[in-house]
Amino acid sequence: GALVYQYPRRTICKSGTSMRMECQAVGFQATSVAWYRQSPQKTFELIALSTVNSAIKYEQNFTQEKFPISHPNLSFSSMTVLNAYLEDRGLYLCGARTGHQNTLYFGAGTRLSVL
């Protein structure tokens, strides 16, 4: 079946530093990857959508300068949170799907804490 792995599962960084998180799709080709952030209140924010061989589309309030994303092949994507501050805390979720499907499969997320 389709599986999405994210690592690290948890990370703590000092305010103003950066951290990178990774997303691996197993058992299917992740032609599209969506990065979401889930707040402590459980609400979801879409950060960006990435499709292999296409430009990455960032949602309003999120930029490439702050959340650079790499999606080099059909099984892997990474995102970095640059200059993290308290408001960047949350659970970062990677959702992946293959081209002809309209179902996103999510990983367990990377929980970011900022000191």
Partner 1 sequence: GDSVTQKQGQVTLSEDDFLFINCTYSTTTYPTLLWYVQYPGQGPQLLLKVTTANNKGISRGFEATYDKGTTSFHLQKASVQESDSAVYFCALVDPSSFSKLVFGQGTSLSVVP
Smallest gap, in angstroms, from Cβ of residue 88 to partner 1? 18
Smallest gap, in angstroms, from Cβ of residue 50 to partner 1? 9
Smallest gap, in angstroms, from Cβ of residue 16 to partner 1? 28
Q: How far is CA 45 from CA 27, 28, 66, 100, 111, in A?
A: 26, 25, 15, 24, 14
Report the residue number, 14 or 103, with the smaller CB distance to partner 1. 103
Report the residue number, 80 or 98, with the smaller CB distance to partner 1. 98
Q: Give me the residue label for tokens 């099984």.
A: 75
Select from 103, 90, 41, 105 the least CA-distant residue to 79.
90
Residues that bind partner 1 (CB under 8 A): 4, 6, 32-34, 42-44, 46, 49, 91, 93, 95, 97, 101-109
User: Where are any strands of DSSP class E within the chain?
Assistant: 3-7, 10-13, 19-26, 32-38, 44-51, 57-58, 69-73, 76-81, 90-97, 105-106, 110-114
Report the residue number, 14 or 61, with the smaller CB distance to partner 1. 61
Report the residue number, 1 or 72, with the smaller CB distance to partner 1. 1
Smallest gap, in angstroms, from Cβ of residue 11 to partner 1? 15
